[in-house]
Amino acid sequence: TECPLSSVVLREFEDTFSILVFTTFARPECGGVLSIFPQNLGYEAQRAWLVDQPIPSSGMVLDHVEIRFIDEFKYEVNQAIRGQLELRLAGMDEWIQTGLDGFYAEDNKDRRHIFIFGEHTDGILRFGHYINLARIDAVIRNLRGVAFGMAVGFSNSFAGLEVGAYMVPVRALAHEIDDHEWLAQLRLLLPYEECPKVIVRGAYPSVYGDWPTREEVLERFKKFRKIDYAKLNA
């Protein structure tokens, strides 16, 4: 499961229908199942991992799979600390970024159990690489002339999801800085895959309103769906 039920709901389901639930974790791009509960673990041990935690474990990682969780700076974190899940299969050199939020815990035999909360809301997968939008937000907001800015992962026919920027200029400087200047600055500060490919300008919120969320501005990026930015910037 990539978005598990709570342990409370799992327990209530089992009690109501007298059916035992065993979770697993699979990714199609990695060949299928990556973690599972072995039959010899024992009933009590399985129950402890499934219903004694805030969310059910997705099982023990299989022998041919390496896992790690990384923080926003891409450093590996220890067990019980939330991060973004990365995978590596036997024979692979590169880590696969999943964009999933969770943590791991080890049992008394040092076997890793994984817990997955679901997709990380401030991240996207672009060409299979996880991109932290919150990290890009900080870069955008430090640019000269920006009153508010945020990175947006918008649907794109070529990249799947592409990175754009929603920006509100400082009123006094709105006509002094054009989008090309901002994009040029961002290209100097960010690697290509993280750099916004297009800028959409917005207005200040109403007197009593808040700044918009990523979801609220997605509609304004629809017109960029069919642009191949890799070819455009080649």
- Percent of residues, the chain, with pLDDT higher than 90: 35
**What is the per-residue pLDDT across 64-105, written as a single tens digit (0 to 9) for each?**
999 999 987 789 999 998 888 999 988 888 898 887 888 999
- The pLDDT, as a whole number, for residue 2 is 43
Residue 29 lies in a domain: yes
Q: What CATH number has the domain bearing residue 168?
A: 3.30.300.30
Q: Which residue range is the domain that position 185 belongs to?
A: 125-232
Q: Of 53, 87, 120, which residue is a domain's last? A: 120
Q: Of 91, 120, 149, which residue is a domain's last? A: 120
The answer to whether residues 104 and 131 belong to one domain is no
**What is the per-residue pLDDT across 119-152, written as a single tens digit (0 to 9) for each?**
666 778 787 777 888 788 889 988 999 988 999 9
The answer to whether residues 160 and 183 belong to one domain is yes
The answer to whether residues 141 and 113 belong to one domain is no
Residue 224: CB atoms within 10 A of its CB come to: 17
Closest CA to 162 of 217, 112, 124: 124
Residue 209 lies in a domain: yes
Cβ-proximal residues to 30 (8 Å cutoff; 6+ apart), any chain: 65, 87, 89, 96
Any idea of the CA torsion for 171, 172, 175, 180, to the nearest 10 degrees?
-80
Please state the pTM of the whole predicted model: 0.54
